[in-house]
Amino acid sequence: AIAYVNGRYLPLHQASVNVEDRGYQFGDGIYEVLYVYRGRLVDEALHLQRLARSLGEIELPRPMSAAALRIVIGEVLRRNRIETGLVYMQVTRGVARRDHPIPSPAPRPSLVITARRKPEPPADIADWTAEAITLPDERWGRCDIKSTNLLPNVLARTEAKRAGAYEAILYDTNGNVTEGAASTVWIVTREGTLLTRNLDRHILPGCTRAALVEALQHQGIEFEEREVSLDELCAAREIVLTSATSFVKPVVRLDGKPIGNGGPGATATALFELYLRRLT
């Protein structure tokens, strides 16, 4: 595999950054994950906008223009001969003697881009279901920034994996659902309302979420953006996760108990179809 590192394309085993890079010492960096489907970057503009926003929020200069970034991503995919897969890119603060405040003058940011193959979404959503567990959200107050500081997410997903589940759905101290450790959460309430949490500093503004919101509005399908309580989650008819890596994924068991009839529901299926339609 070939990785892009600060201007060079290198075999992955030779690709490295300095041990004094602040991304390594402080988690002082921003990342994005994009799905590439048959050579096309899915929701490319949304991801590049979110990257620019995250960088701005932590005062990290852009390593290059969006247009240049697109060219480099394309080159990483070409060199790895990937048509369908995932692109990972991260921008970190760069190399400086270890000291907490942002260095001044600013070091040159480090940019790393890697890619790997990922299968196309399955033809049948029944082959794409998952289990989830619920856990307290122990992350910081700026989860709208896609930071490389992922320790709470790592621990939450480890706990999920040990419970035989795919995702940990997080809830705040008010008993409201925030999001998955690496995905956006949607539910269909007992009353049949499609809901996803409103955007604020406590969740990442998902690109898949934004794309689906647009598609739902376009189709005239009703949904609400508001706080979702843990009780509503547990009593939901359907639970759906969305992200660049999970596409649209129905949760069929929560904390070991079946959701709905234990299979993908009608709304999950409709969202999955909206997602697939956007791909092609």
What is the rounded CA–CA span in Å between residue 232 and residue 90? Answer: 36
Choose between 22 and 157: whose C-beta lies nearer to ligand PDD.
Answer: 157
Least Å from the CB of residue 73 to ligand PDD: 15
Q: Considering the complex, what minimum distance in angstroms separates the CB of residue 88 from ligand PDD?
A: 8
In the numeric block, the tokens 């070991």 are attached to 256
Active site residue 257: no
Q: Is 271 exposed, middle or buried (0-12, 13-18, 19+ CB in 10 A)?
A: buried
Minimum distance, C-beta of residue 206 to ligand PDD, in the bound complex (Å): 3
Q: What is d(CA 111, CA 44) in angstroms, rounded to the nearest whole number?
A: 18
Nearest distance in Å: CB 49, ligand PDD:
11
Phi, psi of 66 (to 5 degrees): -60, -40
* Sequence-ordered list of residues with C-beta below 8 angstroms from that of 229, at least 6 positions apart, any chain: 175, 176, 177
Q: Is 50 helix (H, G, I), strand (E, B) or coil?
A: helix
8 A C-beta contact, residue 29 and residue 23: yes
| Distance (Å, whole) CA 184 – CA 109 | 29
In the bound state with ligand PDD, the residue whose beta carbon lies nearer, of 107 and 272, is: 272
Nearer to ligand PDD, 179 or 232 (CB): 179
Residue of 118, 146, 161, 257 marked catalytic? 146
Cβ pair 229, 183 in contact under 8 A: no
Instruction: Give whichever of 196 and 269 is closer to ligand PDD, judged by the CB atom.
Output: 196
Contact indicator for 160, 132 with CB cutoff of 8 Å: yes
**Residue 92 is which amino acid?**
T
Which residue's CB is nearer to ligand PDD, number 96 or number 271? 271
Site residues (vs ligand PDD, CB under 6 A): 33, 179, 182-184, 204, 206-209, 242-245
Residue 64 and residue 55 in contact, taking contact as beta carbons nearer than 8 Å: no
Kindly tell me which of 107 and 206 has the beta carbon lying closer to ligand PDD.
Answer: 206
Half-sphere exposure for 163 (CA within 13 Å, toward CB)? 22
The terminus-to-terminus CA distance of the chain in angstroms comes to 27
What residues are paired with 242 via a beta bridge?
184, 248
As annotated, the active-site residues are 146
